[in-house]
Structure formats: structure tokens, C-alpha cells
Chain A
Amino acid sequence: MSEAVIKHIADPHPVTGVTNSKLGIWCFIASEVMLFGGLFSTYILLRTGAGADWPIGSDLLNVPLATLNTMILITSSITMVMAWASLTINKFGAYKKYMTLTVLLGVAFLIVKSFEYGMKFEHHIYPSKNNFYAIYFVMTGLHVLHVIGGLVVNLYLLLPGSKLWHKAPEQFMGRIEAAGLYWHFVDLVWIFLFPTLYLL
């Protein structure tokens, strides 16, 4: 029974060229594309249905704050890559530093977002006000949930999960790469959300 080992946890499959976790995360991202694809389709349908009644996003939403948040998320994507790159050159200390930065930037995004939501609630603007706010709150809310999910994973990989580096560095790097792919995807969703909701 010593042979009951699952293959390709750390070594890439010769045909697909990736490990299990990387293939898994790509499949997961494919389903996420369908999820947000459905939401963007909903946005298009509601907007074309409303015609001239649909408001211009920049008149109602806080564009400077959202721009700031865009910067924060893009920066966090860069630090995420730096964290992974540090591991490839065997610098665990640098990994810790960049991963901490990634987590902090994610938290910063959430803080800015909560200010944005708070300002809307102060003016008694809730999702029920009209369909523009409805789709705004649902799409950004769902994105926020994805950010929180990413933060939990990154925090795990920063603190208790990082022990794996000393036991199985290849596998640990695979995990960082998978978490990174997910984090970039969350970033990418925001890059679509920002112009769609705030600018158009």
C-alpha cells in the first residue's frame, strides 16, 4: 500500500504540463468566469432594457475612491507575484514580506470599499433603490466576498501554511502559484467592474 500515493501533487503532469492544484485552480477560474459572465450579462440586459433611464455611473458613484482601490488591487497583484518569485530564488524572508504586503493591500481594499458602502448607506441608498444600485451592490458585494476568500487563503499561506516550505518546497510553491492565479483573477474582475459600473 506504500504505492497509494496521489501523483502530480508537486511534479507537473507530462502532457498537461501542470500540477493537480494548478489544473484545479484553472478549472475553478473557468467556472468563476461563467459566474461573473452571468452577472455581466445581467447588467447588459437590465441596462439595455432601461434605455435612457439608466444613470451614468460616474454621476452617482465615487470615482476617485474606486480609482484608488484599482491601484491598491493592481499593486497587490504585483506583490503577490513578487512573493512567488522570491520563493523561486529561495528567499523565504522576502516571501513573507511580500505576502504580508499582499494581505495588507487586500485589507486596504476592503476598508476603502466599506467607506464607499457606508457613504451610500448614510444617504439611505440601498440595493432596493433602483436596478442600477441593485446590480452595483450585488456585483461589488460578490467581488468583496471573493476578496475576503482570497485574503483568508493568503493569510493561511502566510502563517500556519508556510511550514510546508520547509518540508515540501515544490508543493508549497505550487500552492502560492494557485493562490496567486486566483488573486489575479479577483483583480481582473475588478478591472472589468470598475469601468462598467463607475465610468460608463
Chain B
Amino acid sequence: MSGDHAHELPFWRKHIFSVDHKTIGVQYAITALLFMLVGLLMMLIMRWQLANPAQAIPGIGNLLGEANAPGGVVLPDFYNQLGAMHGTIMIFLGVVPLAVGGFGNYVMPLQIGAPDMAFPKLNMMSYWVYFVGGVIMLASFWVTGGAAQSGWTSYPPLANIASFGQTIWLIGMIFLITSSLLGSVNFIVTILHLRVEGLTFARLPFFVWAQFITSFLLLLAFPPLEVAGILQLADRVLHTSFFMPSGLVISGEVLDIAGGGNPLLYQHLFWFLAHPEVYVLILPAFGIVTEIIACNTRKPIYGYKTMVNATIFLGFMSFLVWAHHMYLVGMSTKMSMFFQITTMIISIPSVILLTSLLLSLWGGAIRYNTPMLFALAFLPMFAIGGLTGLPLGLAGADIHLHDTYYVIGHFHYVVAPGTIFALFAGIYFWFPKVTGRVMNETLGKIHFFFSLICINGVFMPMFMQGLAGVSRRLWDPTQYAHAQPTQPLNVFILYAAIGLGLAQIPFIINFFWSAFKGKQVDNNPWQATTLEWIAPSPPPHGNFSKVPSVYRGPYEYSVPGQSDDFWLQSDEGKK
């Protein structure tokens, strides 16, 4: 913005402390991918323990430290740390930063024709606050007693009396929340104020809509979690009793605290965030998939307006369903009734989104390239995740399924083969814009098919285990008679999980190889219609050589009477 782009910026201003939304987007994406790799490795250690309880992990077992895994055998405490940190890392350090921080930052300003975000310095600050939060989280493994071990939900009183790692977790969370808040303000102002001339809300690419609603969810849902975090921090550091009931007995002794607090208060504050958070995880994924499906079917999205309205309604409703995570805490039946009804209502807009995308395929000339394969796989995977959620939304069925592997299977189907597949689709799709080169199709297809098979091998058996009543967060399921019949499934899941880990190797090779040696392509390799494809690849500082104007909607593919089968939003031709 200041007139300094005439001369080259020094390296550290250009690539490290950059205020350019594209650099920040790439920083977010790479950091988030690294964190997701860490989360994946944690998962593999846990799966080994579940498949081979109390047996030494070959090879890497000895690297985990004598305090965590003596002789390579994972201790129960360390298992709990891995469980809590896997969830925290995947959600708060992996998927959301990649979907919102990475894709949102890189693609959204380009799609609305803006030179940058509305507050570039704030944008840089969001990234670095996130980075510090992530480092704090990881560092907690090395403090006395290890990392947080009360689950990613950190329910008190358990979390209140946990070891020092929990305090570090809370401090890390406050950093991550702050980063998200700063980012969401930036997104909202950018989308409202910096759209180019002609880009009305009715012509906005669905990806931008998804980011817009997501930002509102982040803005309004995160502060209550911050309250929960601050109060838990006070309970742990100042020895208050916000979440500590009177007369709490631990190890046979009554705790010397003031008491009078309410553990349920934490759950309400937590889920008031964490349910909208589910939609923060899924809406950007829908945005990415919509762009890719429209482009690769060569036809307009079916029901674009309906999808936008459904998303707005979804965002609003997501604030009214949080207690469906809490049917078993002893709420009154009237409360349960209310939350069951709102939960059934909120499934409707999700189904509208999915159905519209499915109908968009009808009659399309589908190009089966790697991004499209991932986007297509997203649809049934998300559908499995969504439909298995319905029994959990009904209090009667939830009594049996609560806290079992069924729940794990359900939300992983939404987030892992759902959102993460959409994110992979997005990486393959926008890679040419970021680097000027396409990713290798063969490696991409190997990555896709092996991931698809293995990820279903990991999560599908969990439904069976959950229906058999196996609880989540068990260190050794063979200790329980009812879990023994499903133990062979744990061995199967281990093999599938290792396969899933190995399936990521072609992606990693492809990512780095293509970035430097991939096939060079022009600005619009997919022949798409939205504004980011008229910018040079990679776009320079300021993005567009000439500020574009928009004359039509985002998905004008195969318009009758046009010579090309795509019609750029910025193309001034008359119809």
C-alpha cells in the first residue's frame, strides 16, 4: 500500500514477515500441512497401541522417550496425551488453518478481485499468533507430566486437576483463538468492502460465500470458548472453583477448595463454540468442492441461490444446537426435546448443499482429473458422516452410542475423508495458481485411490465397534469382555492406517517435485470462470495488472451461443 513495491523487499519481509495475503496463505497452508502430518503420526502410535495392547512399537517406539514409552510400550498417560493432542492439532492447528487461513487467505481476495486483504498487517499478525500458539501446543509434550491429557474437549473437573501440560494447552488455545478472531474480522471486512465493481453478492463465487459465513461463526462462537479457557485457567492457576463442585473427592480425599462451581457450565461454553466449529470445518470444504465441481462438469451449479440461502441458515442454526453433545449430562427432557428439534432442522440445509452438488453432476461432461476425484469422493464421504450423525442427534439413540467409537467414526467421516479430501482437492486445483505449474496427475491418482480405500478401512469398522458398545479413549480395549469380539477390527484398522500414512508419500513427493519441476501452464489451466484465473500465475504483489470488473455470475459454463465452454466473470462480451 505504501509506495514501496518499486524496489525489492528484503528476503525476511518478502517471505517471512510478509503482509502479502498470498505469502501468508502459503505460510498458513504449509504450517497446517506439517501439523496435520504430526497429527497423523500421533494417530499411528495410538492405532498400534489399540491393535497390539502393551506391546513395544517396532522401530520408533524407542524414540518416544523413557517417560512416555519405556521400552517402546506406550503408557496410558502418554496415550491420553496423544489422544488429546491429536484432536487439538488436527482441528485447531491443521484443518481450520488450512481451510480458512490457507485457502481463504490465498484464494478469497483473488476471487473478489482485491489487491490484498483489508488489513494486511493484521493478517500477518494472525499468522504469527497462530504459529506461536502451535509451538506452545507442541512444546507442552516436554513439560513435567507431559501434554494435556483430558481429551481435546478438556472437560473439568478432570482437566482442572490434570498435570501442568493442561495450563500450557489453555495458553496455546488463547493464542489460537486470538488468531482466529483477528482473521475473521479481516475476512468479513475484505468480503464486504473490497469486491470489485460488478461483483454483487448474487455473483459471488460460492467459495467466498462459504468463507464469509465461516468468518461470522469464528467471530461469534470463539469468544465463549475463550471465556471457558480463561475460567479454567483461573481454576488451575488462581485456584478458583468456577467448574469445581463442592465436596469433590479425589484419591479418597476431599479437595480443599471453595467449591460451589459447575462443571456443566464448561460444557455449555465449550460446545457453544464447538458446534459452530463443526461448520467452520465443513463450510470451506463445501466452498472448495463447489468451485471444482462447477469447473470440471463444465456446467453451472444446480441451485446456487438455494445453496447460499442454505448456508446462511446453517450458520444461524449452528448457534442453536450445541447441547446435543450433552444429552447424557442430565438435562431436562424439555431441553433435550428443544435440541433434538433444532438438530433435525439443521440437517436440512446440509442435505440441500449436498443434493445441489450431486444434481450439478447430472448431464455434465465430467473431467476426471485429480482435484475432481477428490471433490467427487467428498460427496459420499460427507454423506456417510452426516447421515450417521442423525442417530446421535436423537437423545434415545445417543444414550447407547454416546462416547463410543461410533461417534469417532461419525465425526471423522465428516472431517477426514470429508473436509480433508476437499482440502486435497483444493491443493491440486489451485496449485497451478500458486506456482505456475500443475501437479503430476499419475502421482495424484495414486494418492487419491490409496487414500480413499485406506481411509474407509480406518473409519468404517469404527461404526461396528461403536454399535458393539466399545468406548472411545480406551488404552487397552481387550480388558473389557464386550470389546474383545471387535478386537480383530483394531488390527485391521492398524493396517489400513499404515496404508493411509504411506498413501501420503506420493502426495508429499508430488507437492515438492511439481513446485519446482512440474509442467508449466498458463494462467487458466482448468478453463475456469472466476477472477483468480485471470491473474498471472503466481500473481504478483497487488494481484492484477489491471483492476477487473465483473459482468456475470460465477459459473457460466457451456453457455449456448458462446464459442468457448466457459465465460469469464470479467469478460465484457454481450450475450
Contact = CB atoms under 8 A, between A and B. Distances in A.
Interface in A56-78: none
A97 interface: no
B540 A27 contact: no
Given A4-B116, A34-B220, A20 B262 contact: no
B567 to A, nearest CB: 24
A104 interface: no
A45 to B, nearest CB: 5
A38 B242 contact: no
A8 B193 contact: yes
A42 B272 CA distance: 13
Contacts of B137: none
Interface in B246-271: 257-258, 260-262, 265, 269
A134 B258 CA distance: 10
B258 A5 contact: no
Interface in B162-195: 181, 184-186, 188-189, 192-194
B547 interface: yes
Nearest to A1: B542
Contacts of A1: 5, 540-542, 545
Interface string B216-251: 000111111011101100100011111000000000
Contact of A49 (B194, B226, B262): B262
A189 interface: no
B225 to A, nearest CB: 9
Interface in B27-46: none
Contacts of B547: 3
A3 B542 contact: yes
Nearest to B245: A49
Contacts of B222: 31, 34
Interface in B187-216: 188-189, 192-194
B227 A38 contact: yes
A128 B244 CA distance: 11
Interface residues of B, number: 50
A137 B240 CA distance: 10
Contacts of B192: 13, 16, 23
Contacts of A128: 238-241, 257-258
A7 B542 contact: no
A140 interface: no
A156 interface: no
A42 B116 contact: no
**Which of B116, B223, B234, B257 has the largest count of A CB atoms less than 10 A from its CB?**
B223
**Which of B193, B226, B228 has the largest count of A CB atoms less than 10 A from its CB?**
B193
A131 B220 CA distance: 27
B223 A34 contact: yes
B116 A137 contact: no
A50 interface: yes
B240 A138 contact: yes
Given A20-B118, A42-B265, A129-B258, A31 B223 contact: yes
Given A30-B220, A31-B223, A130 B194 contact: no
A30 B261 CA distance: 28
B219 A30 contact: yes
A28 interface: yes
Contact of A53 (B224, B260, B540, B546): B260
A138 B221 CA distance: 20
Nearest to B186: A24
A139 to B, nearest CB: 10
Interface in A1-38: 1, 3-9, 13, 16, 20, 23-24, 27-28, 30-32, 34-35, 37-38
B543 interface: yes
A23 B547 CA distance: 23
A9 B1 CA distance: 11
B426 interface: no
B115 interface: yes
A20 B542 contact: no
B126 to A, nearest CB: 13
Contact of A24 (B189, B230, B269): B189
Interface string B416-459: 00000000000000000000000000000000000000000000
A121 to B, nearest CB: 12
A84 to B, nearest CB: 21
A126 interface: yes
B4 to A, nearest CB: 11
A39 interface: yes
A142 interface: yes
A46 interface: yes
**Which of B261, B540, B541 has the largest count of A CB atoms less than 10 A from its CB?**
B261
Interface string B273-308: 000000000000000000000000000000000000
Contact of B194 (A7, A37, A50): A7
Interface string A101-145: 000000000000000000000000011111100110110001000
Given A39-B227, A49-B262, A3 B546 contact: yes
Contacts of B186: 24
B119 interface: yes
A127 B258 CA distance: 10
A23 B234 CA distance: 33
Given A1-B5, A1-B540, A20-B119, A137 B223 contact: no
A42 B227 contact: yes
Contacts of B241: 128, 130-131, 134
Contact of B265 (A24, A45, A50): A45
A37 to B, nearest CB: 8
Given A46-B260, A127-B238, A6 B220 contact: no
B189 A20 contact: yes
B242 A134 contact: yes
Interface string B1-23: 10001000000000000000000
Contacts of B272: 38
Contacts of B115: 3-6
Contact of A27 (B189, B226, B231, B242): B189
B258 A131 contact: yes
B230 A138 contact: yes
B240 A38 contact: no
B262 A45 contact: yes
Nearest to A50: B260
A131 B5 contact: no
Contacts of B540: 1
Contacts of A53: 260
Contacts of A34: 220-224
Interface of B: 1, 5, 114-116, 118-120, 181, 184-186, 188-189, 192-194, 219-224, 226-228, 230-231, 234, 238-242, 257-258, 260-262, 265, 269, 272, 540-547
Given A4-B541, A23-B192, 5 more contacts: A3-B544, A6-B115, A28-B185, A126-B238, A127-B238
20 contacts: A1-B540, A1-B542, A6-B114, A20-B119, A20-B189, A31-B219, A34-B220, A34-B224, A39-B227, A46-B260, A49-B262, A53-B260, A126-B238, A127-B239, A127-B240, A128-B257, A131-B261, A134-B241, A134-B242, A138-B242
